[in-house]
Amino acid sequence: MVCSTDMLDFLREEGVSEKIVSEIEYFRRHYAVSDSEKSRICEPQFQYYGKDIWEQAAAAILAGENILLDGPKATGKNVLAQGLSAAFGRPSWDVSFYINIDAETLIGADTFEDGAVKLRKGPIFRVAEEGGFGILDEINMAKNESLAVLHEILDFRRQIDVPGYGRIALHEATRFIGTMNYGYAGTREVNEALASRFMVVRMPVISISNLEKLIKTQFPNVKPEYIKQFALLFDEIRQKSESGEISTKALDLRGLLASIRLMERGLKVGKALELGMVNKCFDSYERQLVLDLMAVRIPGNLSAEDICHG
Amino acid sequence: MDDIDSFEKRRARNLVWSTAGTQDFEPPLLVYDGECKADLYWNSVIGAIYRHFDWTALQAFYCSFEEDRWRGVKENLFWLALEQAAYAIEVKDRPAYALLRKEYVQKALADMNLEKAALNHDDSMSYRLLLGHVQRINAELGGASNKFGNKPGQHLGERELGLLDAVEHSTNLDTAQIIQTLQTAFDKYLENRTILGFSLKHLGLWGPVWETVTEDIQHFRLPFLKRRRAAIRAMAFGVAEHSFEHTGNGHENNGLFPQNSREQENFWKYINNYFGKPLYQEQDIRQLERRLCTGNDTACRLYYTRGDYAEKLETGPFVATHNRSAEKALPVNRAAYEAHSVQYNHIINNMVSRFRNSLLVHLEQQEVRSRSGQLNVNRIWRGLLLEEKHLFNRVLPGDPGNITVDLLLDGSSSQSSRQQTIAAQAYILAESLTRCRIPVRITSFCSMSGHTIMTIYRDYDEPENNERVFRYFTAGGNRDGLGVKMLTDMMRTNPAEHRLMITLSDCEPYDMIAIMDAPNHQVPYEGEDAINATASEVRRAIAEGISVMCIFTGEERALPAARRIYDRHFVRIRNLGFMAEAVSNLLQSVIRSYDPGNA
C-alpha cells in the first residue's frame, strides 16, 4: 500500500514535471477532506508506471476536466484511477457499470430510517457532495438510463437534479474518471455526447520495463532475471491475445502478481502460474498455448528458493 | 506423418512465433515428435533461429541441397548447427532453455538405439550424427552416463566426427560464418571422397558420375528410383514440415484458377453475371484476401456481392451460361413459400412469441423488496412496529443489451434439392427476428473456381428486405471454414453487445482447393480435414465473443461432423413445423447465457 503523501515522491521519481507535482500539492492543500471521508482516499496496492500518462491525466484534472481512460485489458486503467485519487488526496467512489446499474443506484433512492423516509445517497451524490473522485468503471457498459445521469453530472453546469430533493451543485474538487475497453465484446458504442464530456487518455500497453518495475516493487525478493522472465511471459501472452490466437482470459496482470505471491508462499512456479493465469482459460487449446509459452520461458519446477534471494 | 492434426500445427506455429517475437511470417520449419505432437524445444529453437539469423540467406543455402545426394545428411546437419548457435544466444534470455535442452537430450538418448545407428545409409548417418551431438551436449551438461557409453561420439567414424565438429563450432558465428563453416565441412567430408586412393577430383568430368553410380549401388538405389522429398518428412530429430517447400500459394499450379488476364477477365464477367455485381473494388478484395486467405485457405480467393445485377450484363465467351441466377431463383422460392404460406405464417407467429418470451422470461424486470427504492405504503406499519427495513420496492431491470443475428446459408450445390426449403427457413427466421426488433443480416456462401462467394441478401438496418432471401440459389462447393471466417470478419465491426451467428448447413464441407498446409501431400478440403478446418474457424469466432449455432439441414451421416463443428449448439430440423421450437430453444440457451443472473 502507498499512502497519498508518498504518491508525490513516486511521481517525482517517475519524472513527472515538477510544475504538475507542485500544482497537485496546491490542490491538496486548497481542498480539505472531511475527517469522515479520509478513509476513502485510495491507498493503491499497485503503482502505475508511465510519466507521460501521469502528466496527461494530472494536467487534465488540474484543469478541471473529467478524464476517460481508454485501453485494452491489463493496461492499468483502474490502477491509474486509484493512483490519481491518492495523488490528489481525494476520497473516491467506484461505480462499476454492469447492466443493472440505474439512475437510483447512482444518485440515490428513498429509504426508511428512524420512522421517516430519507434519501439514501448514491455514490455519485456522495462524490458531488464531498468533492471526491468518481471512478466510473467500464463506462461503455452503461445502459441508457445511467447514461442520462452521466450526461448531467459531467455537463459544464456541474450540478445534479435529485427528484424530490432539489438540485445540488458539484463540489469544486469533484472529478470523474471513466475507464473503458473500446471494442471489448459486449460493450456499447460511446456516443459523441458522452465522449465530449471527457478528456480521453489512450492507455498504452504496459512496457516490459515498467512491468518489471511493478513486479520488483511488489516482490523485492525476486531475482531480477526471473522478474524479467515474468514480464516477458506476460508480454508474450499479450501478443498471442492481440493476434487472436487466444482470448484475453490469461492476460491477467493481477493473476500474475497473485501467482508470484503464491510462489513466495512456497508453491512451485508452474503450479502458481497455472492457478493465477493458465486455469483462467477454459478452452483446452488456449490452455495448451499458454502452457507452451510458460514452458519455453520459465522452468515450471522452480521453487521460491530458486527465484528469490535468500 | 499425415496424422498431424490442425491443433498441433497451430501449437507448433505459435511456439515458433513466440520465440521469434513476431507473427508476421510463416514458420520455415515445424517439428513434431514421433507421436505427431508439436515439439516444444525444437519449434522454439526454430523461432530463435528466425530471430537471430538471416533466414533469407539460410533458406537459399538450404535450398541448394535440393537434388544433392547427401541432401538428408546436409539438412540434418544444417538444423543441428543452427540449433547449437541459436541455443547459445537464446539461453541468455531464457533460463528455461537450459532445462528444455537437457530434457530434450535425455529423451533423445533414451529413445535412440545403436541398432538403428549401425545401419548403413544416409538416414542412419544423420541419426549417428544426432546421437553424437546429443551425447556431447549431455556430457557438457554433466548428464549421467547412458547406454551409449561415457565417451561421446565413440560410434562415429572420422568423417562423421569432422562433420559434427563443424556443427559444434557454429556457436558465436553469424549467418554468413555458419554457412561458410557448414559448406567447408560438406566440401571436405561429403563431396571430396576418394576411391582406391584417388580423389574423385582426379577423375575429372567422370568424377561426379562415378560417385553417383557407386553411391547408388552402395545404397541399392538407382537414379530412376529417386523421388522428390515431401515437405513433411522424417528428420533425425523429428518429423519436420518445411513450409517454404510447399508449392507457393497454389494460385498458379492447380489449374482451377484463370491462368491469364484474359481468362481472369472472362471469369469475372462470368461470376458477375452469375452471382451479381462485386461489392468491393479489386484492390479492396486483394486486401481482404491477404487478411482472410491464410492458413487452411491460403490458396483461395474471395468475391462479395449483394446479389444485384447490372442492367446490362457482361458479354463474352461462356459468360452467359448462368446469368441472373438469383433473379431466376426468386419466383421459384417465393412460389414454394406461398404454397405453404399459412403454415409458415403460423410458424413465424409461434417463433415470434417464443423469442419474445425468451427475452421476457430470462430478462424480465423483477420487483423485489428493498431497503431503498419506491416506498411501499402498505408496509410502513411494519417499519414502525416491527422495525423492518425492507419497506421499498425496487425494480431490477433485465436488459438484453442489443442482440444481432447473422444468418449464414450454405449455398453449395449439395443443397440444391433443399433450395426452396432453406430459403423458406431463412425467411421465417429473419422475419421472426425482425418482428422482435432484433437486427438480422442474411448471407450465403459457396465456392467456385477457387473463389468463395459471399452474397449479402439483407443487412442489419434493412428490415424491409427479408424477402431478398428468396434470391437464394445453390452452386459450386462449400468451404464452410472460409465462409465462417468471412462472416466473422464482417461481424468484427458490429458493436452489438451480443452477436449471434446462425449457420444453415449440411456440415459436409467440400471444396476443390486443397488445404495448403501440406500441398505436397495435397490434403483435400473434404472429410475430416475440412471438418477440422471449419471447427477451427467456429472456435475462433467464439473466441471473439460471437455465439455460433447451426441449423443442421443435412443427412444422418453428417451428424457427427455437426457435433464436432458446433459442439452441442446445433439443431436438426426434420420438419419445418418443429423449427420454431428447436430454434427458440437454442436462442433461449444463448439469451440465458447473457442473463446476468446466470453469470
> Hey, are the CB atoms on A240 and B14 less than 8 Å from each other?
yes
Is A285 at the interface with chain B, CB within 8 A? yes
Does residue B335 fall inside a structural domain? Answer: no
CB B94 within 8 Å of CB A229: yes
Q: In degrees rounded to 5, what are phi and psi of residue B356? A: -60, -40
Examine the domain organization and report whether B390 and B407 are in the same domain. no
Reported as a pLDDT band with limits 50, 70 and 90, residue B576 is low
Closest Cα in chain B to A281: B543
The residue to which cell 431497503 is assigned: B371
- List Cα–Cα distances, B202 to B186, B210, B213, in angstroms: 19, 11, 16
Residue that is last in its domain, among B189, B210, B245: B245
Nine cell digits for residue B338: 406461398
Choose the weakest-confidence range: A109-113, B430-434, B562-566: A109-113
Q: What is the DSSP string of chain A?
A: ---HHHHHHHHHHHT--HHHHHHHHHHHHHS---GGGGGGB---SS----HHHHHHHHHHHHTT--EEEE--TTS-HHHHHHHHHHHTT-BEEEEE--TT--HHHHHEEEEEETTEEEEEE-HHHHHHHHT-EEEEETGGG--HHHHHHHHHHHSTT-EEEETTTEEEEPPTT-EEEEEE-TT-TT-PPPPHHHHTTSEEEEPPPPPHHHHHHHHHHH-TTB-HHHHHHHHHHHHHHHHHHHTTSS-STT--HHHHHHHHHHHHTT--HHHHHHHHTGGG--SHHHHHHHHHHHHTTS-TT--HHHHB--
The whole-number pLDDT of residue B412 equals 87
Q: Which chain A residues are Cβ-neighbours of B49 within 8 angstroms? A: none
From first CA to last CA, the distance across chain B in angstroms is: 44
CB A149 within 8 Å of CB A124: yes
Cα–Cα distance for residue pair B73/B66, rounded to 1 Å: 12
> Hey, are the CB atoms on B394 and A104 less than 8 Å from each other?
yes
Close Cβ partners of B265 (under 8 Å, ≥ 6 residues apart): B316
> Hey, are the CB atoms on B392 and A102 less than 8 Å from each other?
no
Cα–Cα distance for residue pair A178/A72, rounded to 1 Å: 14
Examine the domain organization and report whether B502 and B558 are in the same domain. yes
Amino acid at B74: K
Probe site for chain B from A99, A233, A241, A282 (most B CB atoms < 10 A):
A99
Does residue B340 fall inside a structural domain? Answer: no
Which of B100, B372, B384 lies closest to A296 in CB terms? B100
The whole-number pLDDT of residue B469 equals 92
CA distance A86 to chain B (A): 31
Examine the domain organization and report whether B509 and B481 are in the same domain. yes
CA distance A270 to chain B (A): 12
Closest Cα in chain A to B364: A100
Q: Which chain A residues are Cβ-neighbours of B541 within 8 angstroms? A: none
What does DSSP say about strands A92-96 and A133-137: parallel, antiparallel, or unpaired?
Answer: parallel
Nine cell digits for residue A259: 501467482
Bridge partners of B198? B195
Residues 224-243 of A with CB under 8 A from B: 225-226, 229, 232, 236, 239-240, 243
> Hey, are the CB atoms on B497 and A187 less than 8 Å from each other?
yes
- Mean pLDDT computed over B101-109: 87
Cα–Cα distance for residue pair B42/A292, rounded to 1 Å: 12
Closest Cα in chain B to A296: B96
Q: What is the DSSP string of B351-367?
A: HHHHHHHHHHHHH--EE
CB A213 within 8 Å of CB A228: no
Max mean pLDDT among A56-70, A139-153, B81-95, B132-146 falls in A56-70
The residue to which cell 506423418 is assigned: B1
Is A268 at the interface with chain B, CB within 8 A? no
- Mean pLDDT computed over B461-478: 89
CA distance A106 to chain B (A): 12
Examine the domain organization and report whether B377 and B423 are in the same domain. no
Parent domain of B588:
403-598
Does residue B359 fall inside a structural domain? Answer: no
Probe site for chain A from B7, B11, B14 (most A CB atoms < 10 A):
B14
> Hey, are the CB atoms on B40 and A292 less than 8 Å from each other?
yes
Bridge partners of A69? A179, A201
Does residue B126 fall inside a structural domain? Answer: yes
Better pLDDT: B560 or B211: B560
pLDDT per residue, tens digit, chain A (310 aa), is 555 558 999 999 999 999 999 999 999 999 999 888 989 998 888 889 999 999 999 999 999 999 999 998 889 999 999 999 999 999 999 998 876 788 888 998 888 888 888 888 999 999 999 999 999 998 887 777 788 888 888 888 888 888 778 888 999 999 999 998 865 544 555 777 888 899 999 999 999 999 999 999 999 999 999 999 999 999 999 988 877 678 788 899 999 999 999 999 989 999 999 999 999 887 777 899 999 999 999 988 888 888 888 6
Per-residue pLDDT tens for A201-256?
999 999 999 999 999 999 999 999 999 999 999 999 998 887 767 878 889 999 99
Q: In degrees rounded to 5, what are phi and psi of residue B317? A: -65, 135
- The radius of gyration computed from the CA coordinates of chain A, to the nearest angstrom, equals 21
Examine the domain organization and report whether B450 and B389 are in the same domain. no
The whole-number pLDDT of residue B423 equals 92
Reported as a pLDDT band with limits 50, 70 and 90, residue B195 is very low
SS (H, E, C) B421-442: HHHHHHHHHHHHHHHCCCCEEE
Buried b (16+ CB within 10 A) or exposed e, B250-274: bbeebebbbeeeeeeebbbbbbbbb
Closest Cα in chain B to A242: B23
Examine the domain organization and report whether B135 and B38 are in the same domain. yes
- Mean pLDDT computed over B400-422: 84
Does residue B13 fall inside a structural domain? Answer: yes
CA angle A38, A40, A41 (to 5 degrees): 75
Examine the domain organization and report whether B375 and B427 are in the same domain. no
CATH code of the domain in which B525 resides: 3.40.50.410
Q: Which chain A residues are Cβ-neighbours of B540 within 8 angstroms? A: 244
Which of B40, B95, B375 lies closest to A117 in CB terms? B375
> E-strand spans in B276-338?
301-305
> Hey, are the CB atoms on A293 and B544 less than 8 Å from each other?
no
Does residue B537 fall inside a structural domain? Answer: yes
Cα–Cα distance for residue pair B462/B458, rounded to 1 Å: 6
The whole-number pLDDT of residue B202 equals 43
Examine the domain organization and report whether B108 and B227 are in the same domain. yes
Probe site for chain B from A292, A293, A298, A303 (most B CB atoms < 10 A):
A292
Better pLDDT: B555 or A19: A19
Question: Mean pLDDT score of chain B, rounded to an integer?
Answer: 78
**Inter-chain contacts counted by CB atoms under 8 A, chains A and B:** 116
Cα–Cα distance for residue pair B493/B62, rounded to 1 Å: 43
Better pLDDT: B3 or A29: A29
Examine the domain organization and report whether B487 and B574 are in the same domain. yes
> Hey, are the CB atoms on A295 and B392 less than 8 Å from each other?
no
Examine the domain organization and report whether B212 and B285 are in the same domain. no
Report the percent of chain B where pLDDT is more than 70: 76
Per-residue pLDDT tens for B152-185?
666 777 888 888 888 887 778 889 999 988 888 8
Cα–Cα distance for residue pair A40/B579, rounded to 1 Å: 56
Per-residue pLDDT tens for B279-295?
888 888 888 888 888 88
The whole-number pLDDT of residue B3 equals 63
CA B520 and chain centroid, separation:
17
Nine cell digits for residue A117: 423516509
Per-residue pLDDT tens for B211-250?
444 444 333 333 333 344 566 777 778 888 887 654 433 3
Q: Which chain B residues are Cβ-neighbours of A103 within 8 angstroms? A: none
Probe site for chain B from A296, A301, A306 (most B CB atoms < 10 A):
A296
Is A111 at the interface with chain B, CB within 8 A? yes
DSSP B187: I
Q: Which chain B residues are Cβ-neighbours of A289 within 8 angstroms? A: 10-11, 14
Closest Cα in chain A to B498: A186
Cα–Cα distance for residue pair B551/B573, rounded to 1 Å: 7
CB A205 within 8 Å of CB A72: yes
The residue to which cell 532453455 is assigned: B97
Helix axis angle, B6-20 to A284-295, nearest 10°: 40
Closest Cα in chain B to A111: B372
The whole-number pLDDT of residue B193 equals 47
Does residue B343 fall inside a structural domain? Answer: no
Bridge partners of A208? none
Closest Cα in chain A to B397: A100
> Hey, are the CB atoms on A186 and B495 less than 8 Å from each other?
no
Cα–Cα distance for residue pair A196/A191, rounded to 1 Å: 9
Cα–Cα distance for residue pair B50/B15, rounded to 1 Å: 12
Q: Which chain A residues are Cβ-neighbours of B389 within 8 angstroms? A: 112
Domain A4-202 CATH assignment equals 3.40.50.300: yes
Examine the domain organization and report whether B233 and B275 are in the same domain. no
Count the alpha carbons within 13 Å of B55 in the hemisphere toward its beta carbon: 14
CA B3 and chain centroid, separation:
15
Nine cell digits for residue A174: 469533484
Residues 137-166 of A with CB under 8 A from B: 143, 145
Q: Which chain B residues are Cβ-neighbours of A285 within 8 angstroms? A: 7, 10, 539
CA distance A164 to chain B (A): 12
CA distance B477 to chain A (A): 28
CA distance A197 to chain B (A): 21
Residue that is last in its domain, among B310, B327, B344: B327
Does residue B596 carry a pLDDT above 50? no
Which of B7, B40, B372 lies closest to A295 in CB terms? B40
Q: Which chain B residues are Cβ-neighbours of A297 within 8 angstroms? A: 94, 96
Give ipTM to 2 decimals: 0.74
Cα–Cα distance for residue pair B360/B6, rounded to 1 Å: 42
Better pLDDT: B106 or B402: B106
CA distance B544 to chain A (A): 7
Which of A104, A187, A296 lies closest to B19 in CB terms? A296
Number of independent structural domains in chain B:
4
- Mean pLDDT computed over B475-487: 91
Cα–Cα distance for residue pair A81/A90, rounded to 1 Å: 11
- List Cα–Cα distances, B337 to A143, B289, B424, in angstroms: 40, 36, 6
Nearest Cα to Cα of residue B467 among B427, B504, B428, B436 = B427
> Hey, are the CB atoms on A104 and B372 less than 8 Å from each other?
yes
Examine the domain organization and report whether B433 and B369 are in the same domain. no
Bridge partners of A91? A41
Probe site for chain A from B16, B18, B92, B93 (most A CB atoms < 10 A):
B18
Is A283 at the interface with chain B, CB within 8 A? yes
Which secondary structure element, helix H or strand E, spans residue B207, and what is its range? helix B206-218
CA distance B194 to chain A (A): 45
Better pLDDT: B387 or B77: B77
Does residue B479 fall inside a structural domain? Answer: yes
